[in-house]
Structures are given as C-alpha cells and as structure tokens.
Amino acid sequence: MSSHFLVSYIARMSRSLDAVDAIEAQWRLERPDLDSSPMSVIGRISRLAALLEHELDGVFARYGLAGCDFDVLATLRRSGAPYRLTPTELSRSTMVTTGGMTKRLDRLEASGLIRREVDPRDRRGKLIALTDEGRELIDRAVEGHLENEERLLSSLSRSERKQLAELLRGMLLAVDR
C-alpha cells in the first residue's frame, strides 16, 4: 500500500484530521527514525498564520486598506492624542524598517489618512500624524477587525482563548529573544 493512498484514506476516514496530520503520517512512513511531532505545532501555527492573514486582509480591503496600512494607522491611533509618532517610533512599533515604511507613508499621505509634520522638538525631524479622516477610518476598520477576530475565534471558549494566548505568549517570548 502506497503512503499516498494510506494518507488519503486516513484523511477521508476522520474529519478531525487536518493537513498537518497527513504530513506527519507521510514522514512517519518515510522516515520512522525521525520525531516529526514538532511539526504538529509549528506546522499548524504556520498554516493558521497564512489562513488568518487571508481572513484579515479581506476585512482590511473593505476599508480600502492593506494589512500594513491598517498596522500603521492602528499604531498611530493607539498612541493616543495627538496621534503622532516619529518615523523611528512608528517603525519600531510596527516592526518595519524606516526604509520600508517610506512607501507605506507615501501611500497613506496621498490618501489623506496621515500627514508629515515638522517635529517641534527637533526642527530637522518629522512626525507622522493621523488626520481626522485617517482617525475616522481606523476607528471603523478596527471595529470590523475585532468583529472578524471574534468570528475567527468563535470555535474556542473564553478559557481556551486565555490558555492559548498564554501558551503563545510564552512561545513568542522564547523565540523573539
């Protein structure tokens, strides 16, 4: 019996199996000497990240935004009044290099969602400020975003969400060092 047939048969037999189960089963057949169990976590996180990104992008698009645009506007909005940050602060908060940030800012400025201002603390520096239009848009978009995230998490109970968040925080802290 071929490994492909066996994996296909197993996948059809149980709705609780996912693509990662199939991948692990193939590795167990082809390389039984390897412990493929890390794939059960990392593979699912990777697959879930890709699927979630697709789901999130659909909501952002309804507001005329890309995910990176949402990230910039949300970072400015949650910084509090007067909703201004230096490019370096913005870059640090969004984990994007200042060079990569320039194109995003150009696009958002052309759309009237942000403006560049002279930094009163350093006349040579600039501040990125959220416009009224940008604030109104991000306020609507974040509501849609949170509704979508609630929908995406609806298969988990509150206690499962809390437990998952704690587990992911621990893993993120360990990997992000």
User: What pLDDT sits at residue 16?
Assistant: 79
Task: Answer whether residue 87 is part of any domain.
Answer: yes
Task: Answer whether residue 80 is part of any domain.
Answer: yes
Task: Answer whether residue 88 is part of any domain.
Answer: yes
User: What pLDDT sits at residue 123?
Assistant: 80
User: What pLDDT sits at residue 80?
Assistant: 95
Number of domains present in the structure of the chain? 1
Q: What is the CATH number of the domain that holds 131?
A: 1.10.10.10
**Residues 86 and 105: beta-carbon distance below 8 Å:** no
Place of tokens 């930094």: 119
Task: Answer whether residue 14 is part of any domain.
Answer: no
Task: Answer whether residue 165 is part of any domain.
Answer: yes
Among 134, 126, 140, which Cα is nearest to 83's?
134
Q: Which residue range(s) make up the domain with 80?
A: 56-177
User: What pLDDT sits at residue 69?
Assistant: 93
User: What pLDDT sits at residue 101?
Assistant: 83
Task: Answer whether residue 41 is part of any domain.
Answer: no
Rounded mean pLDDT for each run of 10 residues along the chain, 177 residues in total: 64 72 92 94 94 96 94 96 91 76 91 93 89 98 98 96 96 91
Instruction: Give the list of residues 6+ apart from residue 153 with CB closer than 8 angstroms, or none.
Output: 161
Both tokens of 32, joined, read: 């039984």
Task: Answer whether residue 45 is part of any domain.
Answer: no
